[in-house]
A and B are shown apart, each in its own frame.
Chain A
Amino acid sequence: MAREKYIKMLLMACASLSFLAILLIFLFIFQESLPAITRIGIPNLFSAAWNPDKGQYGMLAFLIGTLLSTLGGLLIGAPLGIGTAVFLDQVAPSRMANVIRRGVELLAGIPSVVIGWFGLIILVPFIARITGSAGYGIAAASVVLAVMVLPTITALGAETLRSLPPELKEASVAMGATRWQTIRKVLLPAGKEGILVAVVLGMGRAIGETMAVQMVVGNSSQLTLNPFQPTGTLTSNLVTNMGEAVGNFRAALFAQALVLLILSMILIVSIRFITRKKEA
């Protein structure tokens, strides 16, 4: 029927919008960062020297800031998230599990500016007091990110555990294994891929998180491995400077957005790799 054909085409167009969107995002960001690649050059863009007033646009400090804060956030957030997922799927009584499930959903909805604000007025002064530093930096950013990746990892982790065949657990318990032995030797290994995907998606959230990190990381451009020193991340640098930047400065910022985009694509490809290996 002709009508059905048109409707099918219209619906297909809706689905194809995802392709159009990702294509346009890539094209625009790439085109706007092209001047930076040709005029500043890729080696300079990845150098440690960042001083826009003098025409130096190296993003190394921000790249390291992004990687360190993501790593820190996952070191705290991943065990907590996986643990919570196991707790609500295996250990908690059903009413408690429901409370946690609702709670985690709610936590996912709390705006990142609000979490950043509490980082700023509670966490930063706390870190400042115990370390004698200014309180801003990777340590503060990591804690904030841990809170933000927790809902992602918990929700996806619990979903993985729930979708495991019940026979696995039954067989293990029937053999006389305790709950902990079942979790450690049977359930976690069986759900390995799904849990890994949950952590990688949490990582994506951490790399891209902007506002909360910008509020606690200190927004300096110094390259540092000290978690208690103010530094910056790719996202925080973008949001701080994009408004005013022109010319080469703006192009260099677009190049940083391109790096963020490439980092998130690497994550997606690695997730494909993880899930494909399981199917094979």
Chain B
Amino acid sequence: MDARKADRIATAVFWAIGIIALGILAFIVIEIFARGLITAVKPSFFAGKPQALKEGGGVGPMVVSTIYLVVLTMLISFPISVGAAIYLAEFAREGRFTRFIRFCLDSLGTVPSIVFAIFGMTLFLFYLNWRTCLLAGAITMALLNLPVFLRSAEEALRQVPLTYREASMSLGADRWTTVKKIVLPTAMPGIITGTILPLGRIMGESAVVIFTVGVFVRAIPLSPFDPAAPLAGYIWYVQSEAVVPDYRTIVNGGAAILLILLFLINFGTRRLSAYYSKKKSLGG
């Protein structure tokens, strides 16, 4: 076969593959909204009380649980992941220790979420005798997110030009002051965009939630030690028990809410990131 013909065929095949990949996503998004959007936007659903046996239940406490869990996990995860990233990017000298830490991070990154879930259950429920609660889930999820979050934060820090640090230190600032006043603010937009993936994972994670946080609540959780039922775990629970007659409606509506939350996360973090870059360029 002559090379030009082969090239044309290959180009067509790559276009087809790209369109298939996009088609899969479009199919899923359209199906989610077509099946669940009408349910999802009803106040009696997204803010309503859940039903254990009858139909017509809402997912109000579950939506609150999801948001609560995301915020709580980020409160733990953000300082630890960014702190570790600062250490690796700014303080540590490349050597045996950093290589070892990176190996641990890579390993942690491939541990299946169900293993994290079982670990969290063993630690908090069996050893510390807690009941299922938001805090147990948040700590487990912070560990699960550490490798991904750290990597994106470290990349953002490394993109800050070396000359910024040199300029700051030549004026007499020590390393930490340089990091705090110069490097971190410059890297902030990148660090914030790096939260998209972890935020999405916390929101959509169900295995950890099922074993450490809980799958059903009637009341809105208030304290971090309260049991809760984040939406992703609740959806799984509802379809797996199939007790309520309208469980299909609940799962479809819940899936649509999760997708809306995912869009909000994407949009919100990008806006926040843009706000920080603008603030920086104005010298604020």
Contact = CB atoms under 8 A, between A and B. Distances in A.
A14 B7 contact: no
A29 interface: yes
A242 B197 CA distance: 28
Interface stretch (B8-16, B44-52, B67-75): B8-16
Contact of A117 (B80, B111, B175, B235): B235
A239 B29 CA distance: 27
Given A111-B204, A113-B236, A178-B6, A260 B18 contact: no
A267 B196 CA distance: 26
Contact of A208 (B22, B110, B239): B110
A150 B207 contact: no
A257 to B, nearest CB: 5
Interface residues of B, number: 84
- Chain A interface: which size bin? 35 or more
Contact of B122 (A32, A180, A264): A32
Nearest to A253: B118
A117 B121 CA distance: 25
A75 interface: no
B104 interface: yes
A232 B128 CA distance: 32
A264 B108 CA distance: 9
The B interface, classified by DSSP as helix, strand, loop or mixed, is helix
Interface stretch (B85-93, B159-167, B184-192, B216-224): B85-93
Contact of B196 (A105, A113, A239): A105
A19 B100 contact: yes
A187 to B, nearest CB: 12
A103 B87 contact: no
Contact of B11 (A91, A103, A147): A91
A11 B7 contact: no
Interface string A5-47: 0011011101111110110110011001000000000000000
The 5 closest A-B pairs by CB, nearest first: A208-B112, A111-B204, A109-B200, A83-B17, A180-B10
19 contacts: A8-B91, A14-B83, A14-B84, A17-B80, A22-B108, A25-B119, A91-B11, A107-B25, A108-B197, A111-B232, A113-B236, A115-B28, A204-B110, A210-B207, A242-B118, A254-B118, A257-B115, A264-B111, A264-B112
Given A11-B83, A242-B118, 17 more contacts: A4-B175, A14-B84, A17-B80, A18-B108, A18-B150, A21-B108, A83-B13, A111-B232, A118-B32, A207-B112, A208-B114, A210-B114, A235-B112, A260-B114, A261-B111, A264-B107, A264-B110
